[in-house]
Structure 1
Amino acid sequence: MTFARETAMHDHRRLGRELGLFDTDPLMGAGLPYWLPDGAVVRHTLEEYVREAERAAGYRHVYSPVLGKRELYEISGHWEHYSDDMFPPMRLGAEQVLLRPSLCPHHALIYRSRSRSYRELPYRMAELGGMYRSELSGVLGGLTRVRAIQLNDAHIFCTLDQAVDEARAALALIARAYEDLGIRAARYRLSLPGASGKYVAGPALWERATAMLREVLSGVAYEAAEGEAAFYGPKIDVQIADAAGRESTLSTVQIDLHQPERFDLHYIGPDGARHRPVMVHRSIIGSVERAVAHLIEQHGGAFPAWLAPVQLVVLPVGEAQADLAYDVVRQARELGLRAEVAGPEGGSLAARIRQARLVPYQAVLGEREAEGGLVAVRLRDGRRPGAMPVAELLRRAGQQVAARGSRLWEDA
């Protein structure tokens, strides 16, 4: 098989449509894909994984509006340094409002909505929220570059002494998520400012933030890249690569000494005085759209069992076993597994097995199995654990799904 053909086979745009995960419509517009039921399952499962990982790490979740007054983004610096990538303002009476290009200004407002003590820090605030970028039509493609983005975002407000440890802990969260999702990082990049005028002034703040990120990366192989920083501060970018070797950024960790000053954020220290916090921006999986696109290509549609749209398919050999097959599916769903029946109306047993090739667990139900209360188990990777009681299959499959790892099956 040629490299070009292999790359095309793993293109998420082709696979995503073939597998019924997402699609587009000209009336919705370019860069605005919609999620089909199986794709919505993958997205929802991924979002729940991230929320649970964040809760376990001490994050508090919030919701914030996708609109903000122009003044908000003037304060944050987005209007001055990032307006070319923002949608134009909408007029509401005497005011102008914008679709937000980022969640951080909203989180800064939530932080400053009440007085904060040093005892509350680090204060970890997370949100899976929408943001919008006015991307040119020529760079849009599938789920990797879109105009409406669901971002796994978080901001940690902490003391200067806590910032390195918090950024390092965020990097560890990213590494754990990659392991569970089967994602391989291509490289780590320390993104620094360039010579253009898109970056905020303040050489001392840039140097301090950069020094802290270098400390975070101690012991990690990385490359520095000028001109790739956020306009308000340096960042660690976790790079991924597609089947063609093209790199993109999935996850980030940033240290921001600029916006806390712009929004006059503070906390009350042990001395009773006001002190300026550091704002650590971090995203475990970046945008949900780009994460799913990469997972489609990384796994060729054969997602880890816990993430698969359908986790178990029951295949009755004939109509005589159909009712029993639906009963197995009912039991599986009651245990939280996503299960379906692929009945004989779908063709021969061999054809149905081929059609279900991406489903992690296949349970064949013939006359002999039905009489013995068993199912013949087949795994997606070709292994055949053999016939076993329905309860045993559901228990073992359920354990693997609950573990949220990359393993498909554990031998008894």
Structure 2
Amino acid sequence: MAEISVSLQDGENKSFPLGTAVADVLKDLVSGKQRKQTVAVKCDGRLLDLSTPLAMDAVIEPVSVHSEAGLEILRHSTAHIMALAVKELFGDQVKVAIGPAIEDGFYYDFDREKPFSSEEFEQIEAKMAELANARLPFVRQEMPKEEAIRFFEQHGEIYKLELLREMEAETVSLYTHGGFVDLCRGPHVPDSSWIKVFKLLRVAGSYWRGDEKRQMLTRIYGTAFADKKELQQYLARLEEARKRDHRKLGKQLGLFTIQDQIGPGLILWQPRGALLRRLIEDYWKDEHYRNGYQLLYTPHIARQDLWKTSGHLDFYGENMYSAMEIDEVMYQLKPMNCPFHIGVYNADKHSYREFPIRWCELGTVYRYERTGALHGLMRVRGFTQDDAHIFCRPDQLEEEIFNIIDLNLHILKTFGFDQYDVYLSTRPEKYVGSDEHWQLSTQALKQALEKKGLAYQLDPGEGVFYGPKIDIKIKDQLGRSWQCSTIQVDFNLPERFQMNYTGVDGAEHQPIMIHRALMGSLERFIGVLIEHYAGAFPLWLAPEQARIMNITDDQGEYCEQVHARLRAMGVRIDKDVRNEKLNYKIREAQLMKVPYMLIVGEREKQEGTVTVRKRDGENLPAMTPEAFVDLVIEECGRRHV
């Protein structure tokens, strides 16, 4: 009988009969404890089921169920078990769509006349547990595409048929467990007994394939883990995330509102939110001025031809709003600020001596987002980018990237973000520009990251159509990642807009353009800030730094006087002189996350002081209003987090 040679990475080769299943190979190569946790193997970059027969020599790597890849397999398999449970409970009245693993869990989309509700979770979970205990094997089968089409036609699974008919492959893979057959690449756990720790979380509406003109489906979200402790920790994080939800806190703290009458995805900043935004904008402008930037302001619309020249209509048109006719000329709302900054550049002639030119703008842009994708401040239709564009010579490119990274990390740290992941995104499928320029710009970003000593991950094909980019994803208090910062090197737009400068040789040369946003958008960044701090902002960012309150009406006039003095000295202070009990006033200030409460009784009135209480309940010694101002100035000067 023919034999094959199989080994672990850096392990000893062993011989096995041709066609030996992965699981049987592992019995000889892996210890019992590790083998019990191995849910699949990686071979030549592919993940394989344990039931896969090996047809050639191979080096395999066991995949633990506790690893990122192993959890994804477990969750994908749990989605299939959920689909089987739903089919067994509700029968032919339910059609299945797709059910992938996602970050931290899984979902499955179902077509049912009566949408599912969370009240049905207990019933579905009980059936899932029953199926898990039945140790149903996940069996992979490959069949010709036409045969698979006939199979799903017989079972009336219209969504699987649509996916199948669009596939170019002649052969497709199916997985069967129990009475459920799904179109799937796999891999999966060996059998359903691996699925022990899971929880259904919520339901949501989801249009088939994200198209609002298609059927509305019910999406059931869930999660699964390898042990109960991990699930309990995850559920605790979810509960904490619910408490920190920026939409809930935004309403509670009076920061922003979204009104149907105005339109979805359009933010109305309330006074406290507008003040928070102004504090961020002022800090941003000051830091940019210190770092050699000049401020620009540009319009919200432009002639449609501008977006044709820039390439946005060709590459970004589906995210732009419809054109409008003004004086028989077509205009469009801007999705980006960059062509306007180029317009400022092209208004004058430039010499090599002027470079680098650094221009920044808090520019409001408009992008079409599907209604189902909108989410509070995190995904909106009109938002303000903290945008900047640097025009430089080739010999200045690396240093400018260094400067941007330094400024970027400094600003993020000031706001309390010192944990982040860095990605280098390379050329996408659809792009413009020469291979030479793409190679030069990608290499410049790569070298800058390496010389700065920043660890990064490659993100192949995720660059923008005109250039590669560095993306920085910050991590909040709960360890969640948020895309904020981006740095992009662009040879394309300077060429399209015929940008030039006079070089040292007297000839005309094309500048290099760097696009960058440090916070991404103010809306999204403020949403992340709200959740990061759970609304309890550090003093320098707090819209209301202090609230003064009297114990009885006898101190009302003194309260008014101190309030006016502190306000005149720059403290962001409010007052509560209502005829209410002191504990009630303190409780209300705590709910509004006010950092300091200044309490005035008869003694404070007589001595010309205030008693200072922090929002965590700590009491400071009584002090004069001037001493409190000094405290505020010192704490804000430290940008205290």
Taking structure 1 as the reference length, the TM-score comes to 0.94
- Deviation, 1:17, is 1.0
Deviations 1:345-374 (A, max 9, x none): 3x3212211221211222111111111111
Deviations 1:317-371 (A, max 9, x none): 11111111121111111121110112243x3212211221211222111111111
- Deviation, 1:406, is 2.1
> Do structure 1's residue 400 and structure 2's residue 632 form an aligned pair?
no
> Do structure 1's residue 323 and structure 2's residue 323 form an aligned pair?
no
Q: Of 603, 606, 610, which aligns to 1:371? A: 606
CA distance in 1 between partners of 2:327 and 2:619 (Å): 67
- Deviation, 1:184, is 4.0
Match of 1:78 in 2: 312
CA distance in 2 between partners of 1:382 and 1:182 (Å): 23
Match of 1:227 in 2: 461
CA distance in 2 between partners of 1:118 and 1:384 (Å): 60
Quickly say closer, same or farther: Cα 1:280–1:97, change in 2 above 3 A: same
CA distance in 1 between partners of 2:417 and 2:559 (Å): 35
Match of 1:399, SS? Answer: helix
- Higher gyration radius (CA): 2
Match of 1:206 in 2: 438
Matched AA of 2:437: L
Q: Does the 8 Å CA contact 1:185/1:238 hold for their aligned counterparts?
A: no
Match of 2:297, SS? Answer: coil
Match of 1:348 in 2: 581
Q: Of 136, 158, 161, which aligns to 2:395? A: 161
Match of 2:631, SS? Answer: helix
CA distance in 1 between partners of 2:360 and 2:433 (Å): 28
Q: Does the 8 Å CA contact 2:482/2:528 hold for their aligned counterparts?
A: no
Match of 2:532, SS? Answer: helix
CA distance in 2 between partners of 1:99 and 1:364 (Å): 51
Match of 1:192 in 2: 426
Match of 1:410 in 2: none
CA distance in 2 between partners of 1:111 and 1:140 (Å): 35
Match of 1:97, SS? Answer: strand
**Structure 1 stretches (4+) deviating beyond 6 angstroms?**
none
- Deviation, 1:66, is 0.9
Match of 2:51 in 1: none
Q: Does the 8 Å CA contact 1:38/1:309 hold for their aligned counterparts?
A: yes
Q: Of 383, 389, 405, which aligns to 2:618? A: 383
Matched AA of 1:45: L
- Deviation, 1:382, is 3.7
Deviations 1:76-133 (A, max 9, x none): 1111111111111112243211101100011011111100111111111111111110
CA distance in 2 between partners of 1:241 and 1:180 (Å): 14
Matched AA of 1:384: N
Match of 2:500 in 1: 266
Identity %: 37
CA distance in 1 between partners of 2:297 and 2:638 (Å): 26
Matched AA of 2:619: R
Q: Does the 8 Å CA contact 1:317/1:344 hold for their aligned counterparts?
A: no
Q: Does the 8 Å CA contact 1:66/1:99 hold for their aligned counterparts?
A: yes
> Do structure 1's residue 53 and structure 2's residue 287 form an aligned pair?
yes
- Deviation, 1:185, is 3.9
After superposition, where does 1:106-125 map in structure 2 within 5 Å?
Answer: 106-125=340-359
Q: Does the 8 Å CA contact 1:179/1:405 hold for their aligned counterparts?
A: no
Quickly say closer, same or farther: Cα 1:226–1:48, change in 2 above 3 A: same
Matched AA of 1:353: I
CA distance in 1 between partners of 2:352 and 2:523 (Å): 36
Matched AA of 2:376: G
Match of 2:517 in 1: 283
Quickly say closer, same or farther: Cα 1:136–1:242, change in 2 above 3 A: farther
Match of 2:103 in 1: none
- Greater mean deviation of Cα atoms: 348-357 or 274-283: 348-357
Matched AA of 2:585: R
- Greater mean deviation of Cα atoms: 85-94 or 305-314: 85-94
CA distance in 1 between partners of 2:566 and 2:460 (Å): 52
Q: Does the 8 Å CA contact 1:183/1:295 hold for their aligned counterparts?
A: no
Q: Does the 8 Å CA contact 1:31/1:140 hold for their aligned counterparts?
A: yes
After superposition, where does 1:130-141 map in structure 2 within 5 Å?
Answer: 130-141=364-375
- The unaligned stretches of length 5 or more in structure 1 are 408-412
Match of 1:249, SS? Answer: strand
Match of 2:305, SS? Answer: helix
CA distance in 1 between partners of 2:341 and 2:502 (Å): 19
Q: Does the 8 Å CA contact 1:174/1:284 hold for their aligned counterparts?
A: yes
Match of 2:504, SS? Answer: coil
- Deviation, 1:3, is 2.9
Match of 1:126, SS? Answer: strand
- Deviation, 1:186, is 2.9
Match of 2:188 in 1: none
Deviations 1:263-290 (A, max 9, x none): 1111111221111111111112111100
CA distance in 1 between partners of 2:258 and 2:509 (Å): 49
Determine which structure has greater relative contact order: mean sequence separation of CA pairs < 8 Å that are 6+ residues apart, divided by chain length: 1
CA distance in 2 between partners of 1:381 and 1:220 (Å): 37
> Do structure 1's residue 89 and structure 2's residue 288 form an aligned pair?
no
Match of 2:247, SS? Answer: helix
Matched AA of 1:86: M
Q: Does the 8 Å CA contact 1:187/1:240 hold for their aligned counterparts?
A: yes
Matched AA of 1:265: M
Quickly say closer, same or farther: Cα 1:103–1:185, change in 2 above 3 A: farther
- Deviation, 1:245, is 5.7
- Deviation, 1:70, is 1.3
Matched AA of 2:596: Y
Match of 2:466, SS? Answer: coil
Q: Does the 8 Å CA contact 1:335/1:398 hold for their aligned counterparts?
A: no
Deviations 1:248-269 (A, max 9, x none): 3111111111111111111111
